[in-house]
């Protein structure tokens, strides 16, 4: 009986030592936060419009294809309403085409080169005839086109580089979807999200 009690005591002591030597669990506060910009699926409803999307956003581009696949770029996105005839025509002298609308224009500070995208001109331009960012609505689709050279309103472009954000999700506080950029010799793409940081 004495031997059995000694063995039991030894087992208890060894068990306690084993528990004390195990590493303590990491506090929840130090766990890595999940990426707030995730790929979305689906498409916009046919009646979707960007009319109410004016405001300030935090923009994130994530590259999944191209020379910078796996990298991301972050910056500010500012969108304001376009007024007058420029809401309906790419070129002021052309007849109004109500099937295509340009409801918003603005600027962005995102470094598109960091995700392998093409340089399409000044993205901070506030010139209404060549804005740094232009929102285009056509038949239920919404595209955010970047670069003053790509967004010139005084010429009709038939070629050249492009960087375009295709909107798949349009909510009060968030815009998200995919992006593409390219020329005849290269192509890059991925997904993006823009989270509102100020009032509309």
Give a yes or no: residue 22 inside a domain. no
Give a yes or no: residue 19 inside a domain. no
pLDDT at 169: 96
Give a yes or no: residue 56 inside a domain. yes
Give a yes or no: residue 133 inside a domain. yes
Count of domains forming the chain: 1
pLDDT at 158: 58
CB contact set of 151 (below 8 Å; sequence gap of 6+): 105, 121, 130, 131, 132, 133, 134, 145
CATH code for position 76: 2.40.128.120
Write the pLDDT tens digit of every residue in 39-61.
999 889 989 999 999 999 999 99
pLDDT at 56: 97
Give a yes or no: residue 18 inside a domain. no
Give a yes or no: residue 111 inside a domain. yes
């Amino acid at each position: 009986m004495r031997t059995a009690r000694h063995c039991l005591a030894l087992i208890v002591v060894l068990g306690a030592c084993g528990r004390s030597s195990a590493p303590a669990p990491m506090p929840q506060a130090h766990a890595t936060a999940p990426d707030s910009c995730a790929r979305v699926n689906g498409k916009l409803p046919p009646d979707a419009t960007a009319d109410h999307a004016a405001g300030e956003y935090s923009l994130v581009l994530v590259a999944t294809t191209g020379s910078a696949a796996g990298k991301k770029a972050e910056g500010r996105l500012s969108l304001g309403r376009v007024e007058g005839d420029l809401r309906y025509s790419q070129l002021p002298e052309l007849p109004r085409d109500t099937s295509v609308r340009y409801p918003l224009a603005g600027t962005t500070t995102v470094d598109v080169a960091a995700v392998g995208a093409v340089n399409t001109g000044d993205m901070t331009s506030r010139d209404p005839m060549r804005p740094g960012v232009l929102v285009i609505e056509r038949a239920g689709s919404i595209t955010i086109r970047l670069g003053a050279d790509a967004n010139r309103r005084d010429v009709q472009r038939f070629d050249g580089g492009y960087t375009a954000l295709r909107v798949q999700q349009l909510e009060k506080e968030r815009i998200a979807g995919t992006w593409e950029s390219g020329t005849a010799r290269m192509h890059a793409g991925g997904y993006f999200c823009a989270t509102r940081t100020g009032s509309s």
